[in-house]
């Protein structure tokens, strides 16, 4: 097969750019939610995107719980407050003070919450690809979350993943059946804007990790500079902010 026909499978530049723009401008949204409802046809596209995620052994082990009811969201928010207070006490004093200043969820402000769950019984007791690594089931659900997140960004919708809630509290607030495990509690809605960088980076909590330090050649700790010089140079450029990445912002 010739190089030319191999390249037939690649997208045209504008289509490629659409994907990369979604990836690079996606943010975890907590503070920018608007109350406007989300059109149901848009929600259908989001759920279809999630449902077309990869799943181990084609088990599709996910469910999507659509939560608009304010009483349920209030219960989840109460569970969040408990878990975030526990969390604050785990940081050293200075970090703890800064942690308490962050807004880390938009449970009640977003017009819609979706809980993505994992069904332990879906597709039978033995699932291809889950036999050696059982956590592949939950991992499939995470792939669905990421598809949903990127689709939301393309539709102009913000999404925030609230993970500061104990699973047992979440299961109780949502009356989840015993065989259903919560994977992701998501807040979704239109937004006043998407921050240009992750908010924890802007706040000085943590910096972007340099990619050249975490891409290894064959064995951990071996830089790609030797055997992958062009790759290494491209990653270095990105770190210096001079890489001409399409639509990063």
Interface positions, 50-79, toward a copy of itself (CB under 8 A): 51-54, 56-60, 62-69, 72
- Among residues 175, 226, 241, 242, the one that binds a copy of itself under rule CB under 8 A: 175
Give the strand pairing for 157-162 and 112-119.
unpaired
- In degrees, rounded to 5, the angle at the alpha carbon of residue 28 between the alpha carbons of residues 205 and 140 is 115
Which residues in 6-33 are b (16+ Cβ under 10 Å) and which e?
eeeeeeeeeeeeeeebbeebbbbbbbbb
Report if residue 166 touches a copy of itself, rule: CB under 8 A: yes
Residue 25 C-beta: closest distance to a copy of itself, Å = 9
* 211-230: contacts with a copy of itself (CB under 8 A): 211, 214-220, 224, 227-230
Give the side-chain half-sphere CA count within 13 A for 1: 5
Residue 66 C-beta: closest distance to a copy of itself, Å = 6
Report if residue 171 touches a copy of itself, rule: CB under 8 A: no
- Among residues 45, 120, 195, 225, the one that binds a copy of itself under rule CB under 8 A: 45
Tokens 């951990």 sit on residue: 220
Residue 90 C-beta: closest distance to a copy of itself, Å = 5
- Among residues 120, 154, 195, 225, the one that binds a copy of itself under rule CB under 8 A: 154
- Residue 71 three-state SS: helix
- Among residues 74, 135, 172, 196, the one that binds a copy of itself under rule CB under 8 A: 135
Neighbours of 77 (CB within 10 A): 18
């Amino acid at each position: 097969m010739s190089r030319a026909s191999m390249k037939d499978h690649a997208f045209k530049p504008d289509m490629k750019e659409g994907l990369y723009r979604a990836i690079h401008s996606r943010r975890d949204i907590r503070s920018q939610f608007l109350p406007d409802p989300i059109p149901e046809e848009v929600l259908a596209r989001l759920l279809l995107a999630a449902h077309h995620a990869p799943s181990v052994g084609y088990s599709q082990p996910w469910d999507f719980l659509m939560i608009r009811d304010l009483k349920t969201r209030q219960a989840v928010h109460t569970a969040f407050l408990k878990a975030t207070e526990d969390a604050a006490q785990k940081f050293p004093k200075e970090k703890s003070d800064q942690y308490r200043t962050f807004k880390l969820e938009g449970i009640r402000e977003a017009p819609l919450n979706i809980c993505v769950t994992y069904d332990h019984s879906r597709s039978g007791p033995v699932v291809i690809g889950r036999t050696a690594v059982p956590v592949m089931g939950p991992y499939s659900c995470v792939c669905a979350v990421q598809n949903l997140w990127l689709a939301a960004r393309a539709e102009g919708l913000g999404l925030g993943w609230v993970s500061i809630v104990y699973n047992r509290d979440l299961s109780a607030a949502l009356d989840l059946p015993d065989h259903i495990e919560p994977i992701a509690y998501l807040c979704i809605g239109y937004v006043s804007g998407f921050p240009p960088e992750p908010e924890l980076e802007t706040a000085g909590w943590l910096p972007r990790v340099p990619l050249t330090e975490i891409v290894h050649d064959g064995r951990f700790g071996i830089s790609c500079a030797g055997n992958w010089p062009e790759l290494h140079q491209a990653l270095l450029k990105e770190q210096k902010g001079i890489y001409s990445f399409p639509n990063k912002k």
